[in-house]
């Protein structure tokens, strides 16, 4: 009876030790994660992302104005043409004509998907889109329909 009791106590002690070790590891992990979080927020502050975000929010509150040429950097390969058209407020057929797109799926197709399907270099195709957008958004260049 005493042996069984001692065996049970030993098992509880073992579980307790395992929990203690797990708690120490988790506490260390928590400390490391908090360190990374602080570092991340310092990076965001240093790279002025936070101030840019504040500017964005104030613009949003003031009913954000039309996109500018600097917004072209936000275009990514995973985006669809439909989204890019809406993001920059351009007519749906503008990019289609500028880039000679004849795919029937346009504009509901991703930039990377289109480039891969027609064996185009994704980065080069993205650069073409950027140029077309800059052309549309530059006031001096009258590429806008009716401009």
Partner 1 sequence: MNEILAPLLSYVLLYKYVAIGLIVYTSAMILPLPTNAMLLAVGAFASQGYFNYWILVPLAVIANTLGDLTDYGLARYYGDWIVRVLRLQKLRFYAQLQEELRTDATVTVFITRFAGSLSPIAALFAGLVAVPLNTFFWPDLLGNIIEPGAAVTIGYAVGNYWSDFSSTFDLFAAIAATGILLFVLARIYHRMMKHHNLA
What is the contact surface with partner 1 in residues (CB under 8 A)? 11-12, 15-16, 18-20, 22-23, 26-27, 29-30, 33-34, 36-37, 40-41, 44, 47, 49, 52-53, 56-57, 60, 71, 74, 76-80, 82-83, 86-87, 108-110, 112-113
Structure letter (DSSP) for residue 111: H
DSSP string computed for 7-65: HHHHHHHHHHHHHHHHHHHHHHHHHHHHHHHHHHHHHHHHTTHHHHHHHHHHHHHT---
- Tell me how far, at minimum, the Cβ of 41 lies from partner 1, in Å: 7
In the bound state with partner 1, the residue whose beta carbon lies nearer, of 24 and 141, is 24
In the bound state with partner 1, the residue whose beta carbon lies nearer, of 13 and 93, is 13
- Tell me how far, at minimum, the Cβ of 142 lies from partner 1, in Å: 26
Instruction: Tell me: cis bond preceding 107? Omega within 30 of 0 counts.
Output: yes
Nearest to 125 by CA among 71, 81, 67: 81
- Tell me how far, at minimum, the Cβ of 49 lies from partner 1, in Å: 5
């Amino acid at each position: 009876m005493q042996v069984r009791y001692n065996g049970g106590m030993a098992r509880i002690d073992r579980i307790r030790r395992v929990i203690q070790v797990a708690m120490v590891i988790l506490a260390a992990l928590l400390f490391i994660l908090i360190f990374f979080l602080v570092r991340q927020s310092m990076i965001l502050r240093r790279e002025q992302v936070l101030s840019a975000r504040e500017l964005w929010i104030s613009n949003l509150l003031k009913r954000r104005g039309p996109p500018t040429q600097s917004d072209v950097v936000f275009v990514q390969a995973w985006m669809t043409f439909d989204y890019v058209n809406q993001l920059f407020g351009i007519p749906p057929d503008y990019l289609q004509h500028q880039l000679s797109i004849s795919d029937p799926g346009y504009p509901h197709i991703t930039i990377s998907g289109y480039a891969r399907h027609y064996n185009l270099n994704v980065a080069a195709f993205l650069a073409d889109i950027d140029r077309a957008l800059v052309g549309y958004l530059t006031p001096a260049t009258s590429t806008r329909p009716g401009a």
